[in-house]
Structure 1
Amino acid sequence: MTALLDIASLGGHTMGTTWQVKLVVPSGRDLHPLHAGIQARLDAVVAQMSTWEADSDISRFNRAAPGTALPLPALFAEVMDGALDIARRSDGAFDPTVGPLVALWGFGAHAHARRVPDAALLAATRARCGWQRLQWQHGGLLQPGALELDLSAIAKGFAVDLVTRWLRAGQISAALVEVGGELHGYGRKPDAQPWRVLVEAGPEEEAALAHPPRVLALDGLAVATSGDRFHQFIQDGTHYSHTLDPRVGRPVSRSAAAVTVVARDALHADGWATALTVMGIESGLAFANAHGMAARFITRTAHGIDEHLSTAFAGLLAEQEAAT
């Protein structure tokens, strides 16, 4: 006799935020091993890649002496490969070495006071950054000197992917995995429907848009959103976002209120959402269209809130609407 299937919900805390997993399992299955296994994967990401933990692998790299080549654990190395690929392809709009600049502007694990830094200090801090300074040597990642990695713009996405992989390997036929707002869904629910999620920018922005809410079906797809509504400060009437443009060392100006990217994995959705935010609406949308990326930009203008969809994002919505 075939076992009845239920949707179970598990959740917890990681990386200063929450995680939630909905998964299809036989009725009555013991969920404790699944919860423990998910938490263990998330804890592994923290242990390797959290700048908030003094004994993490990334913190040890950041403290390493110049000229030291540190072997990286497998997960950390995988994320670095992805981060450097996005850095190259975005021409530095995404940069995993931007940590000191983030701190200088008052954000992140080692934040200074939130204020506009003086020009000399900004120039000196910029000189310590730059993804081009990173290179693999003798089986390890070379610390060129005073370089500090920060993977906060990509680690949550990777954590989603890691949990998804583990669930698939454990023969979980369908799941929706979410860590701090980054999502990946695969498989079908017991009613044969895919996981559906609402694409959000923020309550105020969504309320001002003149179209129905955007809903995506996630079956083998991930979605991540980069936004400016949570971390920012105001000085002399100017808003400064926590999203920095590594190419100039300053918070992005006239940034989109939110940029959402849909991709096959959450690492790339997460990283590219940040990169496109840094590029801005015109360059970012052009880049997304040129590279076939599914991206949605929400911008604030003097006339209200605007939405801009890449060709691939609009096509995905149309395809999914036709399938319902």
Structure 2
Amino acid sequence: MNKIKPTLIFLLLSCIAYSQKEPVKIEGEAQGTTYHIIYFDKANRDFKPEIVQILKDFDLSVSTYIQNSIISRINSNQKNVEVDKYFIACFKKAKEVWKNTNGAFDPTVYPLVNAWGFGPGKKQKIEPKKIDSILKFVGFDLIKLKGKHIVKKDSRVQLDFNAFAQGYSVDVVSEFLNSKGITAYIVEIGGEVYAKGKKLDGSNWTVGIEKPIDNKETTNDLKALVSLENLAIATSGNYRRFIIENGVKYAHHIDPKTGYPTKNNLLSASIFAKECISSDANATGVLVMGLEKAKLFLASHPELQAYLIYSDEKGNYQEYETNGLKSILKEAE
């Protein structure tokens, strides 16, 4: 999985003594990005070998950047491919969010992602006829899960879980820590975060949301700080992955209904939920919708909280936040 999207800055804050002098800190590289995990454990156990294996197994299920992964084999129409628990969880969540967002989130955009040069496939020459031809086999109603097998109405349908699988990998690692009796931790993979419990001093975990400035290489200054406890956050933005063609910027978020990269004044969408897979998938859907549709969507989904950064008619940053964030979000100094 290649999804470099550090839109959330992971703040490694100092901690006081617990039952060990220091918390356990694990970091590394996976899914084309980095990960950082901090947890408190009386036995001071090092779970890195197990977590490394979990992330490898995860990629072998849902990464389109691995040729023999389950999703890649399904996309190439190999016969009798049996899906695993990771794939099933992603597929079911994708179907749920696809329905809730009225198709703004749709993982069958994969052929379009490749055509625009945002996937592992070779970029194609973009012209209306080409987009129209691809749109004929884009739509989550053209594919279904039957037992442990995928059934397509059109063999050209392909899936791309990269827009939200990284968030789910955060949940998978969190579930592993839960199984080991860890009750205070924070897991960050590629900028997607879930935090459980509190730090040793009794305060919540803190992450920062970047200013949405075009920048493919390094982190940006912070726009806001968020206090997390038993909560996930994922951010989608148009300032990390984009191409410039003939002087025009094209962001990597593809509108499944038009076949073209989204064009609206919404610059980034940070979505809060109880599970990171929900945060990540809905952040993508909200960014595709644009600001006004996103407000209506969020009003009908109180299980989600959101912090949206958009550009006004003068090009200045403006923010919109749902009421549930009042107590945990503040502007960065």
Per the shorter chain, which TM-score range? Answer: 0.7 to 0.9
Structure 1 residue 296 corresponds to structure 2 residue 307: yes
TM-score normalized with structure 1 length: 0.88
Q: Which runs of 4+ in 1 moved over 4 A?
A: 203-208
Larger mean CA deviation between 50-59 and 34-43 belongs to: 34-43
- Secondary structure of the corresponding residue to residue 147 of structure 1: coil
Distance 2:161 2:295 in 1: 24
User: What are the within-5 Å matches in structure 2 for residues 1-324 of structure 1?
Assistant: 3-4=19-20, 6-26=22-42, 29-31=44-46, 34-64=47-77, 70-113=81-124, 117-137=126-146, 139-144=148-153, 145-202=155-212, 213-292=223-302, 293-312=304-323, 315-318=324-327
Distance, in Å, in 2 between the alignment partners of 1:5 and 1:133 is: 55
Q: Distance in 2 between matches of 1:262 and 1:222?
A: 6
Give me the TM-score of the superposition, normalised by structure 2: 0.86
* Contact residue 188 and residue 195 of structure 1 kept, 8 A: yes
Cα deviation, 1:113-155, whole Å, max 9, x if unaligned, reads: 5x6x111111111112111111223542213311111000110
The Cα of 1:308 is off from its aligned counterpart by 3.0
Other structure's SS at 2:263 match: coil
8 A contact 1:6–1:190 mirrored in 2: no
In 1, the alpha carbon distance for the partners of 2:128 and 2:223 equals 43
* Displacement of 1:247: 1.2
Pairwise CA distance, 1:253: 0.7
Shift of 1:5: 5.4
Pair 1:240–1:59, CA change in 2 (3 A):
same
Match of 2:13 in 1: none
Letter in 2 for 1:306: Y
- Code of the aligned partner of 1:127: K
Other structure's SS at 2:243 match: strand
CA shift, 1:319, in A, is: 6.0
- Give the direction of change, closer, same or farther, for the CA distance of 1:320–1:53 in structure 2 (3 Å limit): closer
Query: Does structure 2 retain, via aligned residues, the 8 Å contact 1:188–1:219?
Result: yes
Residue type of the partner of 1:163? V
For 1:7 and 1:195, locate their aligned partners in 2 and report how far apart those are by CA, in whole Å: 13
Structure 1 CA distance, aligned partners of 2:57 and 2:147? 25
Equivalent AA in structure 2 for residue 134 of structure 1: I
Q: Rate the CA distance shift 1:161–1:238 in 2: closer, same or farther, 3 A.
A: same
Structure with bigger helix share is 1
8 A Cα contact 2:198 2:204, kept in partner: yes
Q: Would the aligned equivalents of 1:198 and 1:216 in 2 still touch at CA under 8 Å? A: yes
**Structure 2: gaps spanning 5 or more residues:** 1-17
- Paired residues of 2:27 and 2:37 also in contact (CA < 8 A): yes
The higher relative CO (CA closer than 8 Å, separation ≥ 6) is in 2
Question: May I ask how many residue pairs the two structures share in their alignment?
Answer: 308
Q: Flag the 1:224–1:320 CA change in 2: closer, same or farther, 3 A.
A: closer
Partner SS, residue 129 of structure 1: coil
CA-based RMSD of the aligned residues comes to 2.4
- CA contact under 8 A between 2:265 and 2:312: conserved in structure 1? no
C-alpha contact 1:19 1:178 (8 A) present in aligned 2: yes
2:227/2:328 contact within 8 Å kept: no
Q: Is the 8 A contact 1:222 1:264 kept in 2?
A: yes
Q: Name whichever of 290-299 and 79-88 sits farther off.
A: 290-299
